[in-house]
């Protein structure tokens, strides 16, 4: 299982499933991270926490613990033009 935490900087992925229960899962979904949405990983903080991503056209910082609950697939590298 590949999670959002495993995605490298500059890659885009698609959310497959959100793990977790209750308030934690709801909070992640309220941030716009839902099934089949594309996420682009913009930056990772020097110590690895948080991760800055682009979701639905806006920037979002997400903690590593929350990123581990987001299962992803369809990784692809963005072309530097």
Average pLDDT value for the chain: 87
Cα angle 30, 77, 6 (rounded to 5 degrees) comes to 55
Write down the pLDDT at residue 77: 58
pLDDT digits (tens, 9 = 90+) for 24-44: 899 989 989 999 999 999 999
For residue 25, the domain's CATH number is 2.30.30.90
Write down the pLDDT at residue 49: 86
Instruction: Please state the separation of Cα 46 from the chain's center in Å.
Output: 17
d(CA 31, CA 14): 15
If one counts every other C-beta atom within 10 angstroms of the C-beta of residue 69, the result is 20
Range of the structural domain that residue 54 is part of: 4-77
Q: For a pLDDT cut of 70, what percent of the chain falls above it?
A: 90
Write down the pLDDT at residue 80: 46
- Give how many domains the chain has, as a whole number: 1
pLDDT digits (tens, 9 = 90+) for 3-15: 989 888 999 999 9
């Amino acid at each position: 299982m590949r999670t959002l935490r495993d995605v490298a900087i500059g890659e885009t992925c698609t959310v497959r499933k959100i793990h977790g229960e209750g308030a934690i899962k709801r909070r992640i979904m309220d941030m716009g991270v839902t099934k089949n949405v594309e996420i682009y990983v913009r930056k990772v903080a020097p110590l690895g926490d948080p991760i800055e991503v682009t979701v639905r056209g806006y920037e979002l910082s997400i903690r590593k613990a929350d990123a581990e609950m987001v299962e992803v697939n369809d990784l692809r590298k963005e072309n530097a033009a």
